[in-house]
Amino acid sequence: MTIRPASDLFNRRVIRLALLLGLIMQVFALVGSASAITAEEMLDDPGLESRARALSKQLRCLVCQNQSIDDSDAELAQDLRREVRTQLVAGASDAEILASLQGKYGDYVLLRPPVSTGTYVLWFAPVGVVLGGILLVVAIRRNRRPDALSPSPDTAEEQSKGDVVGDARASGQTPMTSNILRGPVIIVAVFGFAASLGLYLMLGRADLADQPLAGRQAEIAAAKTAQDSRSEVLANALAEARQTVANAPDKVEGWLRLAMAAAAVGDNDSELDALRTALDLTAGDPSIKAMLAEALSRAADGQITIPARDLIDQVLAANPNEPRALYMAGLAAYQDENFADAVALWHRLYNQSRPDAPWMATLGQNIVDAAEKGGLPVPDVTASPDQGMLDMAAGMSDEERAEMIEGMVATLAARLAENTDDIKGWLRLARAYDVLGRPEDMVGAMIGAADAVPDNARQQTMALEVMITTNLGEQFLDDAPRLLARLEALAPDGLELLFFKGHFAKLSGDLEAARRNWQLLLERLPADSPLVANLRARIDQL
């Protein structure tokens, strides 16, 4: 009695599993095949072409790895399809072609894995699982039968000691009910196994060609239609633009429209031609130059090419704040791994752009990315103008606004007092103090920033620089030697170092040391440097 529910449960599971297996296999049976092959690849001879298709279905695309080369759009799949056709035309047999590709790429290129020691599990595990299942059923049945028909020694003992009538009822009823159910259950279970095995042999065998889901075909067709109608609109726009410039070849707007229409359909050559014409018509308008530089880079997969760089330089020479050129100059520096320049250029663009300009988010990310790659201090772009705060501040009176900012600054300062390593926090605080017109606090925050990253020479330099530019050097004579020592250890050859050393020696009254350092600096400066005269004057003042 106790056994029956358990084995029933087992049988039910087997049935459910068999049904599920059958269902899955049916799904795989209901598939057609989509092909990635293009018309120009096809061979003229239909016999060879059908062999080529059959072979393509047996070969795996090594890039996508779950598609045959017949299905895959990858370039490698294209190459392999071409290779198959070349060999077919040369008269190779199917087996020779498969073998030649296997010789290059290994067994993995074959979608039907060869039977070898490495693939025994793959080939024979399904059969083993079914056999194991049958064995399991047989074993359970065998185990149950003697127990169900005759009581075990334990029960016999108990029986002799206890209530005979009760035991007789128990041992008599149990086999009866389970015997009635057992037959159908076994039949269903065996049928389930047989059906699974049959379905597997018909549809799931490892040697069948793969069959991608046909359900996707409708989806793909719909996407294609949508794309086609879009490209039709774009093509019309392009044709219209062409007509416009043909009618009025001296109108710059027409050429610019043509360039845009050509860019939209990815026709780089027409875009470049149109922009060049527009450039000629305007006798070198900087904005159009910048557009041309951008188009050239797009044609080179985003690389800022040398001609594009020339154009960018020309644009920036004419208008140092042209946003497109600034952005691309930054990108060019970034691609050269000149991260300091990239950050500087992009930051300039960032500061001159309206806070709601569409490129701000990307630009901010780029700046942070470049600064991190170059190991530079990250300029404050992410935390800056929180739009909500700004909107709030806009509706306030001056006193209220000042109060709000003071409150934020106080919070930040308190937090930094506890967490002195937060370089970004220090820089933000310094900027806030700068805005609030509190230069001493600003210098203090910059020193905090320098202390937060004692290994960063640039940050030490910046802190020393603000001490001098704010004319507050005297107040920080306790801090300056610490920063100078670090800078000396990090960049002993820097020209700034000599200047700083001279300056702080002068402030602390050691005129001799000041003169020595500045004299040294003077010798190392190029003779035509604009700093020379200034430095001479300073030395003479000592």
Partner 1 sequence: MKPARPTPPKSRIRLSFLLPLIGFLILAGFASVALISTLSGTRNTGQLPSVLIGKPVPATPVPLLDDVGQSLDLAGFAGQPVLVNFFASWCAPCRAEAPALALLAERVPVIGIAYKDKPADTSAFLDQYGNPFAAIGVDREGQLGFAWGVYGVPESYVIAADGTVLLRHAGPIDRRVLETKLLPALESAK
Residues near partner 1, by CB under 8 A: 1-3, 6-7, 10, 62-63, 76, 79, 83, 102-106, 108, 132, 136, 139-140, 143-144, 147, 151-152, 154-155, 158, 161-163, 166-167, 169-171, 301, 303, 305-306, 335-336
Burial of 108 (0-12, 13-18, 19+ CB in 10 A): exposed
Nearest-approach distance from CB 231 to partner 1, in angstroms: 24
What distance in Å separates the CA atoms of residue 458 and residue 214, rounded to the nearest whole number? 61
What distance in Å separates the CA atoms of residue 162 and residue 165, rounded to the nearest whole number? 9
* Residue 158 vs 406, nearer CB to partner 1: 158
Cα end-to-end distance, the chain, whole Å: 111
* Residue 32 vs 162, nearer CB to partner 1: 162
* Residue 328 vs 521, nearer CB to partner 1: 328
- Short-list 533, 466, 536, 526, CA closest to 500: 466
* Residue 6 vs 410, nearer CB to partner 1: 6
Nearest-approach distance from CB 21 to partner 1, in angstroms: 16
Burial of 102 (0-12, 13-18, 19+ CB in 10 A): middle
Nearest-approach distance from CB 36 to partner 1, in angstroms: 17
Count of other CB atoms within 10 angstroms of residue 504? 24
Nearest-approach distance from CB 152 to partner 1, in angstroms: 5
Nearest-approach distance from CB 19 to partner 1, in angstroms: 19
* Residue 136 vs 317, nearer CB to partner 1: 136
Distances (CA, A) of 149 to 172, 204, 303: 8, 41, 84
Strand, coil or helix: what is 354?
coil
* Residue 108 vs 191, nearer CB to partner 1: 108
Residue whose structure tokens are 């707007």: 253
Nearest-approach distance from CB 38 to partner 1, in angstroms: 18
* Residue 171 vs 277, nearer CB to partner 1: 171
Nearest-approach distance from CB 338 to partner 1, in angstroms: 12
Nearest-approach distance from CB 149 to partner 1, in angstroms: 12
- Short-list 388, 391, 387, CA closest to 360: 387
| Residues sharing a CB contact under 8 Å with residue 109, sequence separation 6 or more, in sequence order | 59, 60, 62, 101, 102
* Residue 83 vs 380, nearer CB to partner 1: 83
Q: What is the DSSP string of 385-413?
A: --HHHHHHHHTS-HHHHHHHHHHHHHHHH
Torsion 415-420-426-430 (CA) sign:
positive
